[in-house]
Amino acid sequence: MTDVPEKSVPATGAPSTRAPTVRIRPRDAAALILIDRSGSAPRVLMGRRASGHVFMPDVYVFPGGRRDPGDHARPYGGDLHPNVLAKLLDNAPSGSSLRRVRALALAALREMHEETGIAPATAAPDLSRLRYIARAITPPGHVRRYDTHFFLAFCDETVFDLTHLRDTDELEDLQWLDIAAISGVKLARITQMVLEDVKRLMEADNILPFENPVPFYSMRHGRFVRSRL
């Protein structure tokens, strides 16, 4: 998508002398929340964005990034759960195809590999165990805006090769953090909210049924809104 300049015009219809503003359209993005529940408390993998990043430098995040044009053609084994596909399709732009919404999950897996070294254990990953956890659109005013879809995977359900876990140019200080007691790390507000959602869901049912509603965070008329998909 391209950024579209928009000139400010006063009510009189005369041209404004102020500099034009820029309306930045959100770009499709995906993130993967990887949970290790083998111990007494579930842990989540997070890393710190490098200080050189324009968007959210030095903030701890889940691995993720924007959807690339080639993601729709990536191989996969099992498809996304029908409930996940339905939610993604129902809330996608008009005319979106299964390939487009499936590409969001494939993008999340690709970004996980690029940013952490972790990859599915097979060349054609099974998408069927990925939960759709949240969606959030970056508010206006940021230098980058994303329409981010948050997926969640359990290490014991989805087979990953964890042997190559490492810091990268994208994410530093990769850590497995106690999901119930994350402190001392800098988090974006939306990351805190999504973590709270995951914590509540797991306290209610740590299986995380695919039927769970998906919170959607966005700005409407200048107000931050949490709705459900």
pLDDT in tens, 116-173: 999 999 999 999 999 999 999 998 888 889 999 999 999 999 889 999 999 999 999 9
CA-based R_g, the chain, Å: 19
- Residue 91 vs residue 8, higher pLDDT: 91
- Alpha-carbon distance of 177 to 105, in angstroms, equals 23
**Ranges assigned E (strand) in the chain:** 4-6, 21-23, 27-36, 43-49, 60-61, 64-66, 119-120, 131-137, 146-154, 160-161, 171-178, 215-220, 223-228
Question: Which tokens sit at 224?
Answer: 């931050």
Tens digit of each residue's pLDDT (9 = 90 or more) over 162-211: 999 999 999 999 999 999 888 788 999 999 999 999 999 999 998 999 99
Instruction: Give this prediction's pTM.
Output: 0.88
CB-based contact 148:214 (threshold 8 Å): no
* Domains of the chain, each with CATH number or no CATH: 27-228 (3.90.79.10)
Mean pLDDT, to the nearest integer, of 108-118? 97
